[in-house]
Chain A
């Protein structure tokens, strides 16, 4: 850019991104974004990771964002480039991940003409983004980009799309706007109402059977929120359970941690939720995977709900004390007020509550029948966890299905931002590109994608991206030759009619890895698992480790969809006994 002349739209994009503190963009070029890619080529401040499918660019930006707390950035072309992003954007919307996705668009005079590679990107992404823009003139471009970053990252985070027509990127305009934005209509409330906070902590102080149910909102509120949560749990002697999206928000090794709750959560977590008298929901949304049948969900408890999104409160479950605010701010205020009021707790009642919880824990709901002949998927994850326990530089992503649930049950997270999974949308193919994004953010870390053989095929082309950028992601496939979770549901609810859930013609994953320049490993017997895991971890390049596991294993515990917690199944032989016992506890 010659001094004294105005920058082009493309140059404005680069400058605005750099001013926002962006250092890497995940993308894929195309006709409509060539001007921006040209400007990208002629500078060094911004790094670009070339993926092999635009969906992977979005998932990579998600992994990058969740593992750093920064806003992920995507750059794709018009038409199919933009539409390929829809799944990733919907995923980010459901899991509240902040992203800014720049999409190319045909020149403004061609919009609406069914031009080559034209799509109504703004129309298509309207319902799957937090907000979106079509930039019609270069003057507006810088302001829109800064606005987009503000919206993506504030309140409940989410994806924002900016559609940039090619002529807007080519024309010039002055860049004279600051990255700081004061938005006139969107200003989310971060401080919780003082009276509600007081009401909440009085309730908790008087509780005989309290529980903290925390989720992804704690992760989004930053690392301080997790520290405040741990501190608050200690002050109140409260047990803590986490959602799938919240794992890592509270240390798994802490004895107050009951494990994940919900459809495949632990027995003790679900029972404690059912039997509690005060439930403190922090940054979670009473999702149907957690509540099961709504009219049977924790009927006897008084509920406190802390969330930054007012529309999340009283959406599914009526709560008595709603508190709109940022989890970190609210927890800080709650802690201060607790200390100021010198609140103690009802020690005798709490001891009895913990006694009951210990009784539930003794059920050992995650027990499984190991074997010396065939590899059990749970065993693989137990052996992996043993190796990861001492390290703090490990990041885990998963695909979707049974392996995802076992990873959530058997892997332990002490800090937020080390667990990346597709929760709300449940996108198969999420794990590999997400791991890619995490590895880009943390080049020296150990990044592992726990996968199923069905899911890994969905974004397998990204093995090529791993090779190009020397990203040593480890893909650990728990290969049971079925879409495991689908097969489990077909076994339980469709009379064992395994319709289209068997994977025929699977590739030889070892040779596939090698074709992509990665290391391929495999194990078929339990006594090979340790060596495989050691080799996988020790390798300094990308790895596909294909572990052949028992296809008949099912994920337990399980609360079937639309059932109540007392319909929880704990194992293949235990159903009937458990159901009647659980029913007795309720009565």
Chain B
């Protein structure tokens, strides 16, 4: 019983918020003030007419901590809805990464081959470098980066996880 209660797990939480100045600072302030983890965070306006934004946070903690995080988020005034996608049924999650690989000769060719396997697109090329755009789960992108490391990995820019529930219901 105790091990289940104290097991730290990752949760993906989608938060619908009023798109007002400072709302992201509030959410981040909440996490930092109470010492909660932010593994990844993305935010963007999703409904211009109703001025709503969606913040997707990947966090980790014991079940009691995750309950607290959701309750504390729900307490913030500009927060509309809080959905824990990890527990509320199946969901899809995807992130995007732009990866710069610098190399020549065999390494350059090998990087192209691996990019093909990962269905990554080349969006910039020079005689000695490529920039790949790869999308997918966090694990897929981590694997891609790991494979590129010995081939001249120079720079990485990641968006963080966007996630949405499967099926016909919206947030």
Contacts and interface: CB of A to CB of B under 8 A. Distances in A.
A156 B78 CA distance: 15
Interface string B13-33: 000011001100110010001
B74 interface: yes
Contacts of B71: 310-311, 313, 315
Contact of B80 (A126, A156, A185): A185
Given A185-B79, A309-B75, A314-B64, 6 more contacts: A131-B78, A156-B75, A184-B18, A185-B17, A310-B75, A311-B75
A126 B74 contact: no
A311 B18 CA distance: 20
A493 interface: no
A183 B79 CA distance: 11
Nearest to A147: B77
A185 B64 contact: no
Contact of B21 (A134, A151, A310, A313): A134
Nearest to B18: A185
A48 to B, nearest CB: 28
Interface of B: 17-18, 21-22, 25-26, 29, 33, 64, 67-68, 71-72, 74-80
A495 interface: no
Contacts of A184: 18, 80
A131 B77 contact: yes
Contact of A310 (B18, B74, B77, B78): B74
A13 to B, nearest CB: 20
A127 interface: yes
Contact of B22 (A122, A130, A185): A122
B74 A311 contact: yes
Interface residues of A, number: 20
Nearest to B50: A184
Residue from the set B25, B64, B67, B75 with the largest chain A CB neighbour count within 10 Å: B75
A134 B20 CA distance: 11
Contacts of B33: 127
7 contacts: A122-B22, A184-B80, A185-B18, A185-B78, A311-B68, A314-B68, A318-B64
Listed from nearest, the 3 A-B pairs whose CB atoms lie closest are A311-B71, A131-B77, A185-B80
Max chain A C-beta neighbours (<10 A), residue from B29, B77, B78, B79? B77
Contact of B77 (A122, A127, A130, A309): A130
A151 B76 CA distance: 11
B25 A123 contact: yes
B68 A315 contact: yes
Contact of A314 (B18, B67, B76, B80): B67
A318 B22 CA distance: 33
B68 A126 contact: no
Interface of A: 122-123, 126-127, 130-131, 134, 151, 156, 183-186, 309-311, 313-315, 318
A126 B22 contact: yes
Nearest to A186: B77
Contacts of B22: 122, 126, 134
Contacts of B80: 184-185
A185 B25 contact: no
A185 B68 contact: no
A313 B70 CA distance: 12
A198 B160 CA distance: 45
Contacts of A314: 64, 67-68
B77 A151 contact: yes
A292 B47 CA distance: 47
Contacts of B64: 314, 318
B71 to A, nearest CB: 3
Contacts of A185: 17-18, 77-80
Contacts of A130: 77
Nearest to B22: A122
Give the residue among B25, B67, B71 with the most A Cβ atoms within 10 A: B71
Contacts of B76: 131
A127 B21 contact: no
Nearest to A156: B75
A127 B29 contact: yes
A126 B26 CA distance: 7
B43 to A, nearest CB: 16
Contacts of A313: 71
Nearest to B69: A311
Nearest to A314: B67
Nearest to B21: A134
B29 to A, nearest CB: 5
Nearest to A310: B71
Contacts of A131: 76-78
Contacts of B79: 185
A318 B68 CA distance: 12
A311 B26 contact: no
Contacts of A122: 22
Nearest to A126: B29
Contacts of A311: 68, 71-72, 74-75
A317 to B, nearest CB: 10
Contacts of A151: 77
A299 to B, nearest CB: 14
A313 to B, nearest CB: 8
Contacts of A183: 77
A127 B25 CA distance: 10
A314 B69 CA distance: 12
A213 to B, nearest CB: 21
Contacts of A134: 21-22
Contacts of B77: 130-131, 151, 183, 185-186
Nearest to A309: B75
A313 B72 CA distance: 11
Nearest to A313: B71
Nearest to B16: A185
B163 to A, nearest CB: 21
B171 to A, nearest CB: 13
A184 B19 CA distance: 13
Contacts of B72: 311
Contacts of A126: 22, 25-26, 29
Contacts of A123: 25
A313 B64 CA distance: 11
A183 B18 CA distance: 11
A420 B26 CA distance: 30
A130 B30 CA distance: 12
Nearest to B81: A185
A122 B21 CA distance: 10
B50 to A, nearest CB: 9
- Most chain B CB atoms below 10 A, which of A126, A151, A311: A311
A314 B71 CA distance: 10
Contacts of B26: 126
